[in-house]
Each structure stands twice: as structure tokens, then as C-alpha cells.
């Protein structure tokens, strides 16, 4: 059985009444052997593993050299943001591990995984001072002392004692860890620091909304590329958006003072943002690549907003949403009498985008005829209306997006090769949500506020079960799916209550993935139940299932056969979907079925 000790005086997970519990005497951190056992050295193949995360050792002195070079070359603010973000990402990764490493333990012990891993990773020794938490209500207060921080050590060696705290990467770690752990943006400040002459560093963490004047501390969550740019969006109404579904992430406002539409601390997201910033100032054609739902429209709109054309029109067109027979007249305009029904002359969207930007979403669905006309626009900056004789000069920037592999479309003869080369000048890959899980707290918090307001409901937050569900899910529909799920959750959750797993994944087949899935390496993925529900500490579903399987003499083969049959049935005979549920490839599934 999982270890469980709900001794009084400790805040426990998911029990709202505990929020008033002030923990004046914090117990020492739990024994950390369970964690150090997860650290594996594999010198033969040059690998160090923390559970299944690859780690590396770095000389503190070379970290020091890197740090001072960053400060000297980028300036203190940029260096600080970069290092904070680096810490944030590793904290977020450790938070994903926490419940897996201490299944069934109480809040304090599971939460302690972060501070203890931070120590194990050789960064700092953490002493908890005060910790109050209510996950479902999103309440958190954490105060810790840091002893022998490595950042202080390398900073003091080079710069001596100063007036500002310097443990940037560690503050990032604490923020990333706690934010992902609680599913809500938690910001830490270092109120005392050894590099300011204090005996130790003292950090305090609270939900973002409870801080005043934290712009500086939050700068790392805003892509550095835009730190100095005027990225504040105009209200939706002022932007011409045609045929695009109301888009979610267009305005991800996570703090009233930092109202930018693009937030995220994850590396994958920031790489895309840097590229966006580089190309924005040019006139180059940009092609956004990425799965559906990743927010390509949001990127396109931001590109327009930070370009020289920001005062011109921004016209978005979803090529797949316009019927084939109307597409050409919609895009290029029509002259009166060009066909039955063309009762008056009309400008197309290219004309209307003159002096601005046109965004062509799902470009892969354009007909060959429309592709030819588009090529002409790109080459000659001219359009000709349907049924018209004169050419109209236009000055536009074209941005396109696709979720299909255009190169393959070219091979199949469905997409013009010359157009492909014209569009593929500056491709930007937008990462899927599963590659930027560190950004989930920011995103879910934003959507929670958005739908709480529009449905006039007061939802306090998410249960730990729901947060674990988010972290263990693969998000095939990306940010759009996340947004839909939260909208559903806001509708289903009780007023003044928290969104639980049952309000999110209401379809049986989805809920089984995070609760009991087989991961790619063949181990049972049970992290969802680790510390979640009210009685998770007493009942551990995986233990129960395994016990009963062994008791009933169910062999591996029978278990596999059962798993496969259930997955196939649940996905309605769709083998690809069934393979996804099982976490194996389709050919692997086909092979097993044949057996
Ligand atoms: Zn410090």
C-alpha cells in the first residue's frame, strides 16, 4: 500500500477545510531515499537518469561562467529572464514527476518532492517555514529558507555582495514547480538573499493575483522576444476576422498589467516566438506549420501586430471554411454579371487587405485554380476580380498556415510546387501542447477566468485529480481542445466549487487513458491516482487491479488480449485510435491482433 500519514497539522491535498490550517511547526522534509533511488548513473552510455528524465552534471564554475557571460552580453534583465525561464521549465518537469514518485502520500510529502529534488540536483538545500494550500480553491502560501544556494555562490564569487536578490534560476524552478503542481500560476519572490548579505535566502510564493507590482518577476513568462515590443492587442472588434472560429488564444490575458496575447515559459513555445519576432520586421512570406488547434491564428495575428503593417488591415481567411465555388470570388473579388447571382461588383479579401496583412489558414485546401491566382498575387502583387478585365495593384503581406505536409501534397499533385516554394520562405513550427506542458497552468487559468465570466459562475479552481489529468493527457486537439474542455468543465462544475476530472473528460474512453494507461516503455501509468481523490490514500486502483489479477491467476497474455479488445471496442473498431489508447503504434497493434 502507498504510504499514507495524514497527521494533524499538515495541510492535505484536496480537502478544503484544511485551508485555515496554518502550519506553524513544519515537520522536517520526509526521508528522501525514495527519490535518490530514482537517480541512476549509466556511465557506459553517458547517461544520468532521474526517473525517466535525462539529466547532466555541469561544473558549478562553468555554470558561473555561462551566467556571467549572459549578464555581460544580454544585460541583467534579459539574463535574469532567460535563467528564470530555464529554472521554470525544470521545476515544471519535476512537478510532473512528483505524484508519480510519492503515490498516495499526503500533500506535504508529495509537495516536498520538489524542494528535495532541487537539493538532490545539487542546487540548494530547502527548509520549509510555512505552507498553506488548498488545491481545489487554488489557495497557496509557501515560505521557505534556502541554504547554500549555488547561484549565490557563483554570483558572489564574481560580483560580491549587492543590493538585489540573485537566485533567478531557483526562483524560476520554485514557480514552475508550484504552478504546475497546483495548476495555477504561483509566483515566488526572493525577499532575502545571501548575495545581499543575509545569512540565507528566504522565498515567498503566492498566486499571481495576490502580488502587486510583479511585472518584473513575471517578465520571464512573456516571450523575451516581445519584452520591448508593443504587443498589446487591439480589442477583437477592431480587427477584421472573417470565417475564423472565435479563437481562444487570441488574447491570453493572464494578468491585467501584462496584457499580451502570447504567454508561456516553455522552451518550445519561446523558440517559435523568437522566430516570429525575427521575421516580423521584414516583408517575408511566413508559413506556420503545426497540428490543428495549436494557435496558428494567434501567431499570425501577433505577427501582424508587431510588424510595420500594424496600422493596416488584418484579414484572416480560413480557406477550408469557404465553399469551393465561392472561394475565388471571395478571395479575389467579382465584377457585376460575372456569373448568375453576381449582381454587383465586390472587392475580394486580397483587395481589402491592401496595405495590411492577409492570413490564409488551411492553405492546403485551396483548389489548383485558386493556387494559380495566389501565385500571381505573390509574384506580381496584382489581383484580377472574377469576370474582371483590369488588374488591381495591391500591397499586402501574405501569411499562410497548414496542418498538412505540403511537400507531400506537392508530390501527390494536389499542390503547386512553385507556390509551395513561394510560401515556404520562412516556415515557423508551432509546438503541440504536449510539448509545452509547462504552460498549462497559465493557459487553464486564463480559460477558467474567461468562461467563469461568460457563464457567470464562480469556479474556485481545479482538483488535483483534474490537474494530474491535464498533465497526463496527450492533447491531440491542442490548445483548442484544452479550451473546449475547460468551457465544458465550467458548465458542469458546481458554483463555488472546483472543476474535477469528471467535469472534463466526460467520455469514457478518454478518462481511461490517464487513469490506467500503459506507457510506451511498458510500465503501468498510474500517476493520475497518486494523490488525487478524497480516498486516494486508502485506495490505490492500480494496486487493487494488480492484486486481483494475481489472485485470479490472470496471465500476461490474457491481460494483453483483454486490453487490446477493450481498446478496439472503445474506439469503435478504429485501429489507429485503439493504438493511441494503448500507447503503441498501429502496426504494433495490428501485429498483436494477428497473434
Ligand atoms: Zn539567494
Count CB-CB contacts under 10 A for residue 130.
14
Q: All 3 cell numbers of residue 263?
A: 504567454
CB 451 within 8 A of CB 492: no
Residues 268, 440 contacting (CB under 8 angstroms): no
SS3 content of the chain, % helix, strand, coil (to 5): 50, 15, 35
* Residue 559 confidence (pLDDT): 76
pLDDT, position 508: 44
pLDDT of residue 581: 79
Which residues, in sequence order, are bridge partners of residue 202? 145, 192
**What pLDDT is stored for residue 160 in this prediction?**
92
Confidence at residue 547, expressed as pLDDT on a 0 to 100 scale: 57
Expressed in angstroms and rounded, the spacing between residue 194 Cα and the centre of ligand 1 is 5
**Centroid of ligand 1 to alpha carbon of 198 (angstroms):** 9
**What pLDDT, on a 0 to 100 scale, did the predictor assign at position 514?**
36
SS3 77: helix
- CA-based max dimension of the chain: 84
- 48 strand-pairing partners: 41, 55
247, 480, 522 from 580: Cα distances, Å: 27, 20, 14
Topology of domain 253-428, CATH: Rossmann fold (3.40.50)
Residue 404: is it exposed, middle or buried by C-beta count within 10 angstroms (0-12/13-18/19+)?
middle
Beta-carbon neighbours within 5 Å of ion ligand 1: 149, 152, 167, 193, 201
How much distance in Å is there from the Cα of 392 to the middle of ligand 1? Answer: 63
* Spacing, Cα 268 to ligand 1 middle (Å): 28
The pTM (predicted TM-score) of the whole model is 0.67
Distance from the CA of 93 to the center of ligand 1, in angstroms? 22
Q: How many angstroms is it from 222 CA to the middle of ligand 1?
A: 23
pLDDT at 533: 36
Q: Identify which of 174, 119, 423, 427 has the alpha carbon closest to the alpha carbon of residue 288.
A: 427
Residue 256 CA to ligand 1 center (angstroms) comes to: 29
Neighbours of 433 (CB within 10 A): 27
Q: For residue 109, how far is its CA from the centre of ligand 1 (angstroms)?
A: 24
Q: Judge: domain 33-238, CATH 3.30.1380.20.
A: yes
Q: Where are the domains of the chain?
A: 33-238, 253-428, 434-554
**Which parts of the chain sit beneath pLDDT 50?**
1-25, 227-261, 508-541, 544
Cα distances (angstroms) measured from residue 253 to each of 81, 222, 228, 446:
19, 11, 17, 7
CATH 1.10.8.60 correct for 434-554: yes
pLDDT of residue 522: 36
Q: 190-194, long-range: CB within 8 Å, 24+ apart, which pairs?
A: 190/165, 191/165, 192/165, 193/152, 193/164, 193/165, 193/166, 193/167, 194/146, 194/149, 194/152, 194/156
The pLDDT value recorded for residue 3 is 40
Report CA(329)–ligand 1 centroid distance (Å).
63
Distance 584 CA to ligand 1 centre (A): 45
Amino acid at each position: 500500500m502507498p504510504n499514507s500519514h495524514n497527521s494533524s497539522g499538515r495541510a492535505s491535498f484536496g480537502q478544503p477545510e484544511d485551508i485555515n490550517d496554518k502550519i506553524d511547526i513544519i515537520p522536517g522534509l520526509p526521508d528522501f531515499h525514495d527519490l535518490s533511488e530514482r537517480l541512476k548513473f549509466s556511465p557506459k552510455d553517458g547517461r544520468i537518469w532521474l526517473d525517466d528524465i535525462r539529466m547532466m552534471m555541469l561544473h558549478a564554475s562553468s555554470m558561473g561562467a555561462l551566467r556571467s557571460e549572459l549578464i555581460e552580453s544580454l544585460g541583467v534583465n534579459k539574463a535574469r529572464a532567460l535563467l528564470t525561464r530555464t529554472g521554470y521549465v525544470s521545476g515544471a518537469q519535476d512537478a510532473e514527476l512528483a505524484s508519480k514518485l510519492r503515490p498516495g502520500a499526503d500533500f506535504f510529502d508529495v509537495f516536498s518532492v520538489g524542494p528535495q529534488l532541487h537539493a538532490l540536483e545539487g542546487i540548494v538545500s530547502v527548509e520549509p517555514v510555512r505552507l498553506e494550500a488548498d488545491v481545489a480553491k487554488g489557495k497557496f502560501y509557501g515560505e521557505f529558507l534556502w541554504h547554500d544556494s549555488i547561484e549565490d555562490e557563483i554570483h558572489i564569487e564574481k560580483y560580491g555582495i549587492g543590493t538585489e536578490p540573485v537566485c533567478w534560476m531557483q526562483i524560476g524552478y520554485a514557480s514552475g514547480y508550484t504552478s504546475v503542481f497546483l495548476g495555477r500560476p504561483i509566483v515566488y519572490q526572493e525577499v532575502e538573499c545571501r548575495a545581499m548579505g543575509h545569512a540565507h535566502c528566504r522565498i515567498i510564493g503566492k498566486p499571481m493575483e495576490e502580488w502587486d507590482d510583479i511585472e518584473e518577476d513575471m517578465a520571464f513568462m512573456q516571450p523575451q522576444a516581445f519584452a520591448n515590443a508593443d504587443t498589446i492587442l487591439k480589442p477583437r472588434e477592431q480587427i477584421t476576422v472573417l470565417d475564423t472560429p472565435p479563437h481562444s488564444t487570441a488574447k491570453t490575458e493572464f494578468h491585467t498589467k501584462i496584457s499580451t496575447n502570447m504567454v508561456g515559459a516553455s522552451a518550445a513555445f519561446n523558440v517559435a516566438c523568437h522566430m516570429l519576432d525575427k521575421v516580423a520586421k521584414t516583408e517575408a512570406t511566413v508559413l506556420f506549420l503545426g497540428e490543428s488547434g495549436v494557435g496558428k491564428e494567434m501567431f499570425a495575428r501577433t505577427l501582424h501586430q508587431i510588424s510595420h503593417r500594424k496600422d493596416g488591415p488584418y484579414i484572416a481567411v480560413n480557406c477550408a471554411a469557404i465553399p469551393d465555388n465561392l472561394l475565388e470570388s471571395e478571395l479575389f473579388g467579382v465584377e457585376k454579371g460575372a456569373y448568375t447571382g453576381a449582381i454587383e461588383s465586390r472587392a475580394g479579401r486580397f483587395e481589402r487587405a491592401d496595405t495590411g496583412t492577409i492570413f490564409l489558414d488551411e492553405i492546403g485546401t485551396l483548389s489548383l485554380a485558386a493556387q494559380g491566382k495566389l501565385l500571381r498575387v505573390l509574384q506580381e502583387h496584382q489581383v484580377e476580380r472574377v469576370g474582371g478585365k483590369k488588374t488591381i495593384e495591391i500591397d499586402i503581406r501574405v501569411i499562410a498556415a497548414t496542418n498538412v505536409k505540403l511537400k507531400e501534397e506537392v508530390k501527390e499533385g494536389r499542390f503547386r510546387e512553385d507556390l509551395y516554394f513561394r510560401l515556404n520562405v520562412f516556415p515557423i513550427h508551432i509546438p503541440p501542447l504536449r510539448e509545452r506542458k509547462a504552460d498549462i497552468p497559465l493557459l487553464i487559468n486564463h480559460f477558467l477566468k474567461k468562461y467563469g465570466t461568460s457563464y457567470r459562475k464562480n469556479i474556485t479552481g481545479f482538483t488535483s485529480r483534474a490537474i494530474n489529468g491535464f498533465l497526463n493527457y496527450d492533447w491531440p486537439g491542442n490548445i483548442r481542445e484544452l479550451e473546449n474542455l475547460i468551457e465544458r468543465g465550467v458548465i458542469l462544475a458546481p458554483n463555488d466549487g472546483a472543476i474535477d476530472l469528471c467535469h472534463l473528460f466526460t467520455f469514457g474512453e478518454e478518462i481511461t487513458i490517464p487513469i490506467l494507461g500503459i506507457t510506451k516503455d511498458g510500465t503501468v501509468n498510474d500517476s493520475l491516482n497518486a494523490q488525487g481523490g478524497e480516498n486516494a490514500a486508502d485506495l490505490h486502483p492500480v494496486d487493487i487491479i494488480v492484486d486481483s489479477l494475481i489472485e485470479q491467476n490472470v496471465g500476461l497474455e490474457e491481460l494483453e488480449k483483454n486490453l487490446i479488445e477493450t481498446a478496439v471496442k472503445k474506439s469503435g473498431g478504429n485501429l489507429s485510435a485503439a493504438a493511441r489508447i494503448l500507447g503503441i503504434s498501429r502496426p504494433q497493434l495490428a501485429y498483436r491482433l494477428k497473434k
